[in-house]
């Protein structure tokens, strides 16, 4: 069987990058446009950090 560790690592980095961009965009939108941050906005980055 081929060693796929490199592909898995690159794919994981790509998904984590997309996830961080999505969460950052959501938080920036909530802070600057909506001007209302809820408890879920604080929990979401923690959940993302613990998913690795």
The whole-number pLDDT of residue 21 equals 94
| pTM attached to this predicted model | 0.75
Q: What is the pLDDT of residue 38?
A: 86
The answer to whether position 43 is within a domain reads: no
Q: Could you tell me if residue 23 is inside a domain? A: yes
Evaluate whether residue 35 is within a structural domain: no
| The predicted structure's pLDDT at residue 52 | 62
Q: Is residue 42 part of a domain?
A: no
Residue 2 lies in a domain: yes
The structural domain count of the chain equals 1
What is the pLDDT at residue 6?
92
Q: Give yes or no for a contact between 45 and 27, defined as CB atoms under 8 angstroms apart.
A: yes
Q: Report if residue 48 sits inside a domain.
A: no
Which two structure tokens, joined as six digits, stand for 26? Answer: 């959501």
Domain annotation covers residue 7: yes
Q: Could you list the residue range(s) of the whole structural domain that residue 18 is in?
A: 1-30
Diameter over CA atoms, the chain: 53
Local confidence pLDDT in tens for the 52 residues of the chain:
578 999 999 999 999 999 999 999 999 999 999 888 888 888 888 888 777 6
């Amino acid at each position: 069987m081929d060693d796929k560790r490199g592909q898995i690592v690159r794919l994981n980095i790509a998904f984590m990058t997309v996830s961080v961009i999505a969460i950052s965009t959501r938080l920036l939108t909530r802070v600057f446009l909506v001007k209302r941050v809820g408890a879920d906005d604080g929990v979401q980055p923690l959940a993302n950090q613990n998913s690795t």
